Amino acid sequence: MFNILKKKLAKVVQSVTKSISKTVEEVPKKITQRKIEEKDLKEVLEDLEFSLLEADVALEVSDKIKDDLRKELVGKDAKRVQIKKIVEETIRKSLLEILDVPKIDLEKVVKENKPCLILFIGFNGSGKTTTLAKVGQYLKNKGYSCVFAAADSYRSAAIEQLEEHAQKLKIPIIKHNYGADPAAIVFDSMKFSEAKRINVSLADTAGRIHANKNLMDELAKVCRVNKPHLKILVIDSITGNDAVIQARKFNEAVNIDAVIFTKVDVNSKGGAILSVSYLLKKPILFLGTGQNYEDLIEFEPEQIVKNLLE
């Protein structure tokens, strides 16, 4: 995963190291060292920005990495043997800071709220319904009982899709007819959970375009009526910089609590995860890495940075 971003970062390390090393070599031999100046970095930092933007990294994130490198290198003694190490460690630290978002203990949320309501929101095609099923399997494996709420009552076959997941996982489902009020469906799932002593209600919602005010208002109504304990935004990691726009608009509408990225296994760029992490500062619960129910890994910033730099 993230092959393009990994190659871009490797190229950055190589370019900055080569450029500064050349500067050192041009210093007369009688001068043992020379401080790195802003002009020494101008061209390579411009190349860095272009490379990161190509990998779907938002401009603000690119600027942070550039600024971190500039602060770390300008004014330092340009000793050739240290340059590569300094560049690598600066980028590593910068990436970890970008991915340093608050954490949510999912099990703690479930235990503290009886029953617990988790709402899944996002675009059609983002993998929202499949992700909901994966989380249902994850919680079931942890010993928690679940019910699905088919609150996407608009998209053709949406109820049947969730119903199929429910049957495979042996999880009950609450559904109404197409066109029913989504807020009422979620409400009924919570009443069912209370009556049957079920731990968690996992509610699907209609995929919506963030620019559609009516749909976003309806989503806000679902949240207002049912007061979910977690509002999870599911983002297709392949969407690039549009992921940032989606995240901001959904957050403005309902104040999302956490994010799950899907299709990470086929996303060769990876910039969307860096961008949303840095600009939204919301907890990232999981990364979806395939179509199977087990293809859901917990978000570990250190592992992502390790994969990118090694």
The per-residue pLDDT for range 53-89, each reduced to its tens digit, is 888 888 999 899 889 988 888 877 766 557 777 778 8
- Residue 185 pLDDT > 60: yes
Say what the pLDDT of residue 67 is: 92
SS3 readout for 73-124: HCCCECCHHHHHHHHHHHHHHHHHHHCCCCCCCHHHHHHHCCCEEEEEECCC
Average pLDDT rounded to a whole number, residues 6-11: 70
Q: Structurally, what CATH architecture does the domain formed by 106-299 represent?
A: 3-Layer(aba) Sandwich (3.40)
Whether 15 and 44 have beta carbons less than 8 Å apart is answered as yes
- How large is the average pLDDT for residues 109-115? 96
pLDDT of residue 23 exceeding 60, the answer is no
pLDDT for 270 equals 75
d(CA 126, CA 13): 33
pLDDT for res 46: 84
Q: Where in the chain is the domain with CATH 3.40.50.300?
A: 106-299
Superfamily of domain 3-98: SRP54, nucleotide-binding domain (1.20.120.140)
**What is the average pLDDT across 45-56?**
82
Residue of 40 and 254 predicted with greater confidence: 254
Q: From CA 45, how far away is CA 170, in angstroms rounded?
A: 54
Q: Is the pLDDT of residue 31 over 50?
A: no
Q: What is the mean pLDDT of residues 117-145?
A: 94
Is 176's pLDDT higher than 80? yes
Domain with CATH 1.20.120.140 in the chain: 3-98
Contact 68, 93 (CB under 8 A): yes
